[in-house]
Amino acid sequence: MAYLEDVFVTEGVPEFTFVKPPNYTALLVDLRRKGKPVVVEGQSGTGKTTAVKKALAEIFPENMPRFLTPREPKDLPIIESINEESGAETFVIDDFHRLDKETKERLANLAKVIAERDNRDGLPKLIIIGINNVGSDLIQLVPDIAKRVGIHRITPGTPAVISEMIDLGSNLLNIAIKKPEAVIEDSRGDYWLTQQICKSICISAGVDQTQEKIREIDWEPTEIKAQVVETLHHNYDPAVREFCRGRRFRPTNDPYYKLLRAVSEQERSNVDLTELANSRQDIKGSINNVKDHRLRVLLKQKEACARLFYYDADTKNFTIEDPALFYYIKNVNWEDLRQRCGFRDDPQDFEWDIAISFAGENRPLAEFISEQLRELDVSTFYDRNYEDNYLGGLWSKQFLDIFIQKSRLVVAILDKYHKEKVWPTFERDCFNARVPEAEVIPIFLDKTVFPGIPADLVSIHFEYKGDVADQSDAIIDEVVLRIAGKLDSL
């Protein structure tokens, strides 16, 4: 007789449904070697910690080493105190990637010193567990440690391995789960997610222990997915919402939401954002809006998001390495998520929040306004930032699109130069029709009168003296923040 919670285990180490990763024996040998530092890396859900615990249970059947993690405040002083004088104790440091750089570097140097000793008797053994590339990161901290440390990558389970796990549990419970291939496909090699899906299937069928007679269990994927999503909700919802809302929340600032929703509709969790944008004309503007700069900055500033999402700004590859997270976003109710994020419905997809129109004499001012808006997570069309994108094309054609339909608002820096020059005049001809719709924010630098722009139009009047550095604070207070405020009110 076995109980469901002991068979398909979602907390702790599974006793009956543990399957060895392909490199388990190599890991066991390095863990057994006295003093040899060991690094175990892999994406979330691949069973890194479980594999280490199983191997250590074989090595230390009566005195399992203690696992330490930065997640536990009480463990941090112990981690900080590990040194050459710690004796022949085995220290397992889980979630190594969460330590600060100084501590990681100190432990890496300690590992190097220990590894270099011919006789390691009496020295501590370090076992480091972390996310993908933690071994590579360690080598970057201490370059000459590579050949002295055992680095083992635990990869997601193959379909055969996941099938073995399902069979082990099913045999113990005396059941047969129909459509096991659907469980294998949905889990994407994630051991924990496989356990959770199987557990949810059993609960939905009222199976809580070994059945007297073999029982065949049919299940409805939609129902099980909803149950698993509910289970995952508290783990992922805060970070997913934080990602969707961006660096600076505005009810109309939803390009991150649109991007993540589009990723959830892909078959693979590694997505080229340039290809995705080109294949989704309906949200192309939103994806292009964030993929060059804003997404990288978001992940740099939002630690909770950076733990779940990875973005290579050079290749434009956006990756979700945790299969359970990918399962969550593929099956979450996106309309409900949109409401919980606080977004308003917006039928039009804009590539930029702001497009700046200016004469060449005011380029330093336009560039400064663009930079400051960018810091506020406002996407801004400033021509020099996008020249490479339009090489070989006609500015006249691009400006027609940008100032008429690709920008949410137009900011026009108006003075005598703007009225006299050919290109600024062409831009005004493009956006003048938007003035009655309150979609143009004029910044008057002098008293020049412009046809099509009413004298009583609510505008920004700014006395620009030609030196941005001298007036930077005033520009931010009187111009930039007012533009951002207008966006916030939309």
pLDDT number for residue 289? 82
Q: What does each C-alpha distance from 235 to 71, 72, 94, 229, 425 come to in angstroms?
A: 15, 17, 18, 10, 54
pLDDT number for residue 177? 97
Q: How far apart are CA 342 and CA 345, in angstroms?
A: 10
Q: For residue range 275-327, what is the model confidence (pLDDT) as tens digits?
A: 999 999 889 888 988 887 889 999 989 988 988 898 888 889 998 878 889 99
Q: How far apart are CA 358 and CA 336, in angstroms?
A: 41
- Nearest residue to 125 (alpha-carbon basis) of 95, 89, 81, 84: 89
Residue whose structure tokens are 């191997």: 55
Q: Is 283 left (phi over 0), alpha (psi -120 to 50) or beta?
A: alpha
pLDDT number for residue 322? 82
pLDDT number for residue 349? 78
What is the per-residue DSSP string for 177-227?
Answer: ES-HHHHHHHHTT-HHHHHHHHHHHHHHTT--B--SS-EEE---HHHHHHH
pLDDT number for residue 366? 95
**Fold match between 20-153 and 352-489?**
yes
pLDDT number for residue 438? 93
Parse the chain into domains and list their residue ranges. 20-153, 234-341, 352-489
Give the domain 20-153 fold: Rossmann fold (3.40.50)
Q: How confident is the prediction for the chain on average, in pLDDT? A: 89
DSSP single-letter state for residue 435: G
Q: How far apart are CA 370 and CA 376, in angstroms?
A: 10
Q: For residue range 370-417, what is the model confidence (pLDDT) as tens digits?
A: 999 988 888 899 988 765 555 555 566 778 888 998 899 999 999 999
Kindly list the averaged pLDDT for each block of 10 residues, start to end, along the chain of length 490.
94 90 93 90 82 93 90 92 90 86 86 79 88 64 67 89 95 96 92 94 96 95 95 95 92 92 92 93 88 88 88 88 90 95 82 92 95 89 70 67 91 95 90 93 94 89 93 95 88
- At 11, list the tokens: 């907390």
Q: How far apart are CA 324 and CA 321, in angstroms?
A: 9
Question: So what CATH class is 352-489?
Answer: alpha beta
**Residue 117: in which H helix or E strand, if any?**
none
pLDDT number for residue 18? 92
